[in-house]
Structure 1
Amino acid sequence: MDAMRMAGYGAGMEKLDVIVLGAGAAGLFAAIEAARRGRRVLVIDHAKAPGEKIRISGGGRCNFTNLGIAPDRFLSRNPRFALSALKRYTQWDFIARMDGWGISWHEKTLGQLFCDGSATQVVAALTQDLARAGGDLWLGCAVSAVEAAPEGGFMVATARGTLRCDSVVVATGGKSIPKMGATGFGYQLATQFGLPLVETRPGLVPLTFAEQELAWMTPLAGLSVEGRVRHGRTEFDEAMLFTHRGLSGPAILQISSYWREGEGIALDVSLGRDVAAHLRDARARGPKLALRTALSGLVPERLARHLETVIAPAGALGTLSNAALEQVAEVLRNWRLIPVGSEGYRTAEVTLGGVDTDALDARTMQAKGVPGLYFVGEVVDVTGWLGGYNFQWAWSSGWAAGQVV
């Protein structure tokens, strides 16, 4: 629908101050803050329920923020862009909001904060705050077009008709988990209004491997191993999970945001132990002992069996020299693998890339060349680590926009 047709359709209609596209974490938070300032706000989402990513996050407990929010835990072409919003609306501010809602929570690991109960409590609290502030919410309503209105502001074409507003906040998220309705609509709008995009790709996603690796990985499916995964100078110490497709688990999801096709990763399952010394002691106690038996004291038995076939299929410790044992130790410390891909947006928790931050005002989230147009949350080229960082970016960026729209 072109701008003139939209303007004609909307002529005489009551004009809203703010239309927020997307009823996720960032969109709801921006809407609440704007409505509390007395703005007339409408949130529109094509989904049948609000906050679906909130609802499923953290195994249904919502990992709503992290105690360790810091700029180096966010990926972006310009990592410093997120600082303004994150400093002005911090994890402590959102924790206070949770306490005000009466939602109990706990720290799990690595500063990750979860609801004691269901994540639906957070969704309910957000929608109730929106209603109390006087904002409206349209669910199950598709938006087909957004155009600049000739008289100023915007016209938004929806399944319920065309609306007029002064400001539009784009909080449509990324491409991750399309079965929940994720689309690239926000990126289309950015392009339409002349904003550049940073290449998008799946983030926080399991990695997949070629058939020759899967031949031995598949029998290990379901096995979780504590360790360290490295890519270049980036490393994470958390659990790794073998799957029928390759590798998953927190450490792998974290490194996936840094990994690119054709590159390798390195696993360290030694947990800082002196593997060679352990094996020498085992050899002294029982030279006929199988290598897998000695390794099973360091790693799960199923993994020990695989490592034995790769490292020393002959088996008995007494046949292995000190140099050979050092080689075994090196494999456990620096096990190099080359993924062939990832599971893609189907299972990715976030989308890397998005609206280029160079085109946005870091303090307000407004498009520099398009007054009244704002982008918040995952649609922007800011992606956090696993563990509550992306929700904090949603709260902080939504809050920043909500102060000014």
Structure 2
Amino acid sequence: MVRRCDVLVLGAGAAGMMCAIRAGQRGRSVIIVDHAKAPGEKIRISGGGRCNFTNIHATAKNYLSGNPHFAKSALARYTPADFLTLVEKHGIAWHEKTLGQLFCDNSAKDIIAMLLKEMREAGAELLLQTELSGVEKTESGFSVATSSGVIEAQSLVIATGGKSIPKMGATGFAYRVAEQFGLPIIETRPGLVPLTLDPTLLENLSVLSGVAVPAEVSSGKTSFREALLFTHRGLSGPSILQISSYWREGETIRLKLEPDTNILERLKEARKSNGKQSPQTVLGDILPKRLAQYTVEASGITGPLADMADRKLATLVEAIQNWQIKPSGSEGYRTAEVTLGGVDTNCLDSRDMQAKTVPGLYFIGECVDVTGWLGGYNFQWAWASGHAAGETA
């Protein structure tokens, strides 16, 4: 049996559902297909189960792409305020956390329920647990073979995501479709992911596993100031996840722990007021105690502050606030929150996400070479790119 619709959306994640809603609101007949048992699985687990659904500061500068201007059009036409209006229309309680991040007060499931209700009202039909086996171009549009039969549509929207978190069902399907139609792919790699360390360094830092500290983490000219977490596999925490998108293997990252504290001045003051103290005692009031102990022991510096010249104190501070570490790699797609790279933006129209050489074929969300920072930016790209495609598909 062959089914027909105006718009077929492949992937019932954030971008796909938003696209289905907008296309349906325009009076288009829409079918949205996903191989999972439930829609919006990455929404459900996001933000610790409370979904960091957008960021009020989202602009194109918060995204990595081969074309840094590509995201401007979609982000300008569907803004964080637009999505927040939708959230409030459905009575979903929310709150703002640090750095403009907006979260549900209750559960990420509220966002999924909102999107499903909007899809129903727009007349979009959702097919779950439906496998895809092939896409073909036809005279009138596209024909897609699924486990539920063949579906023909005038417009085909690929919203199947990237490779991150394969246990949630992530596949490279979008990239295969792009290549089938001759669209180039920018090299993909894990983004927003913990970094790993070589065994020797990991063993050396094992005493710090579980320690968190405010930090400025830098790679090249890019820096982020957020928490850093030492783990039994390496380094994690928001600052590390952020910098992981900019770091490449073989490069060194710089850690400036407690970046807002003048540690050298604190040590000098302590030397002046009570020179009998050890530097570890003073650092223990600034840093987590295990980290203070590790730093002093690793430096080989012993004795009371009174015996230490400025140069020796400066050496100690350098180890804390200009710590150079070369990660061995990352934890990979298994724990990566996003996929960097993807469908080359040069072959898509930034206004509606349509392939320039294949009319009626759209790519939205994570499968496109647009990757946001941590903190709600990737959801905003999903809403904005999905809405842009839904406007014309």
Please confirm whether the aligned pair reaches a TM-score higher than 0.5, indicating the same fold.
Answer: yes
Q: In 2, Cα distance between the equivalents of 1:219 and 1:279?
A: 24
State how 1:164-183 maps to structure 2 within 5 Å.
164-183=152-171
SS of the equivalent of 1:255 reads helix
Contact in 1 for aligned 2:3/2:150 (Cα 8 Å): no
1:118 aligns with 2:107: yes
Q: 1:39 aligns with which of 24, 28, 44?
A: 28
Shift of 1:278: 1.3
Letter in 1 for 2:42: K
Aligned counterparts, 1:97-116, within 5 A: 97-116=86-105
User: Aligned equivalents of 1:174 and 1:137: distance in 2?
Assistant: 21
Alignment match, 2:83 = 94
1:288 to partner: Cα distance: 3.6
The corresponding residue for 1:136 is 125
Q: Decide whether the 8 Å contact of 1:20 with 1:43 is kept in 2.
A: yes
TM-score, normalization by structure 1 = 0.95
Between the two proteins, what is the percent identity of the paired residues? 57
TM-score by length of 2: 0.98
Question: Does 2:355 match 1:384?
Answer: no
Determine helix, strand or coil for the equivalent of 2:71: helix
Between the aligned partners of 1:346 and 1:372, the Cα distance in structure 2 is 33
User: Deviation at 1:290?
Assistant: 2.4
- Code of the aligned partner of 1:102: G
More divergent stretch after superposition (216-225 vs 252-261): 216-225
Partner secondary structure for residue 70 of structure 2: helix
The correspondence of residues 353-364 of structure 1 with structure 2, limited to 5 A, is 353-364=341-352
Structure 1 residues 363-372 or 124-133, which shifts more? 124-133
Q: Which residue of 2 aligns with 1:328?
A: 316
Q: Secondary structure of the equivalent of 1:327?
A: helix
Kindly provide the amino acid, as one letter, of the partner of residue 65 in structure 2: S
The answer to whether 1:157 aligns with 2:145 is yes
Q: Distance in 1 between matches of 2:298 and 2:149?
A: 64
Aligned residues: 393
Deviation at 1:14, TM superposition (A): 4.2
Distance 1:38 1:218 in 2: 59
Superposition deviation, residue 315 in structure 1: 4.3
Aligned equivalents of 2:221 and 2:3: distance in 1? Answer: 55
Any gaps of 5 or more consecutive residues in structure 2?
none
* Cα shift readout 1:350-387 (whole Å, capped 9, x = no counterpart): 00000000000000100000011000000000000000
SS across alignment from 1:81: coil
What amino acid does structure 2 have at the position aligned with 1:250? P
**What amino acid is the match of 1:239?**
A
- SS of equivalent residue, structure 1 residue 124: helix
Please state how far the C-alpha of 1:163 moved relative to its aligned partner.
Answer: 1.3
Correspondence 1:253 to 2:241: yes
> Which amino acid in the other structure matches residue 216 of structure 2?
R
Aligned counterparts of 1:316 and 1:388: Cα–Cα separation in 2: 47
Mapped to 2, the partners of 1:56 and 1:203 lie a distance apart of 17
Contact kept in structure 2, 1:65 and 1:391, CA below 8 Å = yes
Alpha-carbon separation, structure 2, partners of 1:146 and 1:78: 28
Structure 1: any 5+ residue segments left out of the alignment? Answer: 1-9
